[in-house]
A and B are shown apart, each in its own frame.
Chain A
Amino acid sequence: MRVLMFTWEFPPLIAGGLGMACYGMVKALLKLGVEVDLVLPTKELIYMPLRKVEDVDLLPTVFLDPIKQHEFKSKVFETREEKFEFIGISGIPETYAQLSLSDNDHSKRLREYWDSEIRDIDEKKLWQAMSDNLVGEEDIIRKVQIFTERAKRFASELKFDIIHAHDWLTYPAGMIARRISGKPMVAHIHATEFDRAGGPGDERVHKIEHAGMTYADRVIAVSQYTAQMIMSRYQIDSGKICIVHNAFTIPEDAVLHKERIFTGPVILFLGRITLQKGPEYFLEMAKRVLDKHPDARFIMAGTGDMGRQMLRDSAAKRLKNKFLFTGFLNRKEVERIIRASDIYVLPSISEPFGISPLEAMAYGITSIISKQSGVSEVVHNAFKIDYWDVDLWVETISHLIENPEKCAKLGYDGMKEVHLIQWDDAAETIKKVYEEKCSPVKAKTKKGED
């Protein structure tokens, strides 16, 4: 079985939450013998045919253009990084593609396509919604347009059994590929616009998310929480939705034992400093816990659009040197800051899944997780609190500070539990979804017959 997979992130090209999830998932799929043709928003028109487990790190690359492919083949790269540099995936895809198309042209071309090719009125509506909303002057929209345009060639030139598209940025590409190849499509939803925006967000993105999920044969949601959201807010047929929780596989070179930086208890926020992650709640609970436990230290690790505001607000609240910022941390530094912490908190306002608590728990750090998160569905040895219930957060953190043995015990239990949450199990479920041939109608009738 071979999958044509569209995703926006994959290490080393952005190792955010989506990137890490795709990495873990693809690696586990390869172990199960599922082959993956990976398409990323690269500068060059390339894909990565992943066939063996090692390929997930080596990223073998093929250019669609035969001349370029020949040139690429004859090139010798000293290091892996050098090759990644050449194909343009060594960092954030700022240089991605040539932004030469105007969005009007793009929208017009898509419109012509569905006008001439598509007869089904429902299908036509979806295409119209997608193409009418994939417009705008923003850099990201234009990048998505080019990514979508390219999907036509991948769909017609590659051989595959199923299409797997991650999040809205790749849904239009998945739709095109499904239309051209006639192969089934799986839309994976890692986060909706509601989650990202912490509010209604961008209308265009909703429309594209809706079109993609409706057009797809199967929708994979990263949690029950997300499944609820796409049923209620996007009216996606529940029979089509399958829940596959994310997992976390601890790196082989991980160092697990604690290494303190501070004498007092350390409470950690780790992630993008953005509205969705609830940094303001973290600040508020810090203020109130510190009133009671001035020896505690609160660390806000990461960067984000609200970083400056948090910095200034923490100063305005006069949290002295007890509320600290790390700035950007690399993987090794993330490990060090986790190992120096006692309590991890995830006060997200809306978190479809949230891998980083699994990471913290894997190191034996006691975690307190927002109830408005997918990860709270899979772990048991952690506290789960409504993100807005600051009183309870404060009470819980204080309780853990006052009862260090209990805190340590819970951390240990959480660690044992999390080490069992492996990508291998998630990949089994995904493989089953592929194998069902993704015909929701068939699945339904079968159920009905039973």
Chain B
Amino acid sequence: MLSIIFYFQVHQPYRLTHYNVLDIGKDTELFDEQLNREVMQKVAQKCYLPTNKLLLDLIKRFDGKFKVAFSITGTAIEQFKAYSPETLESFQALVETGHVELMGETYFHSLTSLYDSNEFLDQIAMHRELMQNEFGYYTTTFRNTELIYQDRISDLVYEYEGFKTMVTEGVDRILKWRSPLYAYKNYNKRINLLLKYYKLSDDIAFRFSNREWPEYPLTVDKFVSWVDKLTLSEKQERNQFLNLFMDYETFGEHQWAESGIFDFLEKLPEAILKHDHLGFIHPKDAAKLSNYQQEAISFPEPVSWADEQRDTTAWLGNDMQLNAQETLAEILYKVKAKGDEQLLRTLRIMTTSDHFYYMCTKYFQDGDVHKYFSPYDSPDQAYIYYINALAGLEERLLR
């Protein structure tokens, strides 16, 4: 038996304005409301609304046999409310079916797991509360920003927040001979681990509309035959889990509607469910189905799902990123010490990983992806606006 676990990441950051030194001390808005509104409404039209509608239809059509999981950030939820309330309603309708799992993460889609454990735990708690309030859902599976994972992060997530399962990237250099198709445990066997099957995930998320790709076009039949083939290697009837993790914006935004991505998504459940030994489950159910002793697997260094290296250098790699992060951490500490709630919220928005992603200078193959997602001309520009904003925020703190 092989179960597909679909998990979609839903996230929108608050993008900064072109904040200059001479804006410091003025009441200049820090965040580009117009741009954020435009992006949210565009993505809602192209992706969230049509894909949600399709998923709702599929869940009903297959009477719950088709299942998906979402992780939705706090900054996305806030911007749904502000700019596209119907999007939030459509997600709520999906959750109400009972066949959608919501996963926990940091409210602000931050990198705090790497530099501020207390803030990390605060943001997880905030997110859990948000999921309760908006969806009446209590999260039990945890997904860290960009699937960043490390042994010590699993300790925090388990000890303080009691999550049962975590998901991360199926990194080759960690897995070595092992397959990402089985459920694992973290290094001290306290929490379940599910690992992204990046080959098939990325076939959908990145390569689907790439005409240079030898497998283009990716048909449902072809994809299902690949999935089916994965079960051949299992001779002891152990249950397998195919973890297809991707940005939700894959549907209609990264892969345009014209590419046939919606058609693919619509036909996939039926083609999978035709086979008795294939199905869909939620991340939280994997452990129950693992009819074998789950092996412990250790990640001494942080990994992520980004770029070829699958490390954290896309966000905290170069000097600009590191200087920005160290400055942020320092001011965050000062703001907490002073107890200024309004400033704390602004700084937390500044913890969003996207700000650091825009400063990435790995401008070769992976750089193209970075460039596509950045609202700025260059990493240097992104850095200048960010560091100016931090200077402006610190001045507010001093006043």
Q: Taking beta carbons and an 8 Å cutoff, which residues of A are in contact with B? A: 260-263, 297, 299, 301, 308, 311-312, 314-316, 318-322, 324-327, 333, 336-337, 340
Known: A299-B21, A324-B388. A319 touches B323 (CB 8 A): yes
Whether the Cβ atoms of A337 and B320 lie closer than 8 Å is: no
Whether the Cβ atoms of A297 and B391 lie closer than 8 Å is: yes
Among B33-41, B134-142, B379-387, the stretch that binds chain A is B379-387
Chain B interface extent, by class: 20 to 34
Whether the Cβ atoms of A327 and B320 lie closer than 8 Å is: no
Whether the Cβ atoms of B384 and A320 lie closer than 8 Å is: no
Interface pairs A-B: 7 shortest CB-CB: A315-B319, A315-B323, A321-B391, A316-B319, A320-B327, A321-B390, A315-B320
B118 within 8 A of A: no
Cα A10 to Cα B89 with chains together (Å): 62
Whether the Cβ atoms of B380 and A321 lie closer than 8 Å is: no
Cα A260 to Cα B24 with chains together (Å): 10
Chain A residues, CB < 8 A from B29: none
Task: Tell me the smallest distance from the CB of B123 to a CB of chain A, in Å.
Answer: 22
Known: A316-B319, A318-B323, A324-B391. A336 touches B22 (CB 8 A): yes
Whether the Cβ atoms of A320 and B25 lie closer than 8 Å is: no
B326 within 8 A of A: yes
- 26 A-B residue pairings within 8 Å (CB atoms): A261-B22, A261-B24, A261-B25, A261-B395, A262-B24, A262-B391, A263-B398, A301-B21, A311-B383, A312-B380, A315-B320, A315-B324, A316-B319, A318-B319, A318-B322, A318-B323, A320-B323, A320-B327, A321-B331, A321-B387, A321-B388, A321-B394, A324-B388, A324-B391, A325-B384, A337-B22
Task: Tell me the smallest distance from the CB of B351 to a CB of chain A, in Å.
Answer: 15
Known: A326-B21, A327-B384, A336-B22. A320 touches B330 (CB 8 A): yes
Whether the Cβ atoms of B395 and A263 lie closer than 8 Å is: yes
The residues in B between 291 and 337 inclusive whose CB is less than 8 angstroms from any CB of A are: 318-320, 322-324, 326-327, 330-331
16 more contacts with CB within 8 A, not counting A321-B390, A321-B391, are A261-B21, A261-B24, A263-B395, A263-B398, A297-B391, A315-B324, A318-B319, A318-B322, A318-B326, A320-B326, A320-B327, A322-B391, A324-B391, A327-B20, A327-B384, A340-B22
Chain A residues, CB < 8 A from B25: 260-262
Whether the Cβ atoms of A337 and B383 lie closer than 8 Å is: no
B274 within 8 A of A: no
Chain B residues, CB < 8 A from A314: 323
Whether the Cβ atoms of B22 and A326 lie closer than 8 Å is: yes
The residues in B between 337 and 395 inclusive whose CB is less than 8 angstroms from any CB of A are: 380, 383-384, 387-388, 390-391, 394-395
Chain B residues, CB < 8 A from A324: 21, 387-388, 391
Chain A minimum-CB-distance residue to B26: A261
Whether the Cβ atoms of B394 and A312 lie closer than 8 Å is: no
Chain B residues, CB < 8 A from A316: 319, 323
Name which of B318, B320, B390, B391 has the most chain A CB atoms within 10 A of its CB: B391
B399 within 8 A of A: yes
Whether the Cβ atoms of B320 and A262 lie closer than 8 Å is: no
Task: Tell me the smallest distance from the CB of B316 to a CB of chain A, in Å.
Answer: 12
Task: Tell me the smallest distance from the CB of A337 to a CB of chain B, in Å.
Answer: 7
A-contact 0/1 string along B108-123, CB 8 Å cutoff: 0000000000000000
Chain B minimum-CB-distance residue to A311: B380
Task: Tell me the smallest distance from the CB of B320 to a CB of chain A, in Å.
Answer: 4
Chain B residues, CB < 8 A from A261: 21-22, 24-25, 395
Cα A333 to Cα B384 with chains together (Å): 17
Chain B minimum-CB-distance residue to A312: B319
Known: A261-B21, A326-B21. A312 touches B384 (CB 8 A): no
Chain A minimum-CB-distance residue to B321: A315
Chain A residues, CB < 8 A from B20: 326-327
Cα A299 to Cα B387 with chains together (Å): 12
Chain A residues, CB < 8 A from B388: 321, 324
Whether the Cβ atoms of A262 and B319 lie closer than 8 Å is: no
Cα A318 to Cα B330 with chains together (Å): 12
Chain B minimum-CB-distance residue to A329: B22
Task: Tell me the smallest distance from the CB of A405 to a CB of chain B, in Å.
Answer: 22
Cα A215 to Cα B388 with chains together (Å): 52
Known: A262-B24, A320-B326, A324-B21. A312 touches B320 (CB 8 A): yes
Known: A299-B21, A327-B384. A321 touches B320 (CB 8 A): no
Cα A211 to Cα B331 with chains together (Å): 59
Chain B residues, CB < 8 A from A319: 323
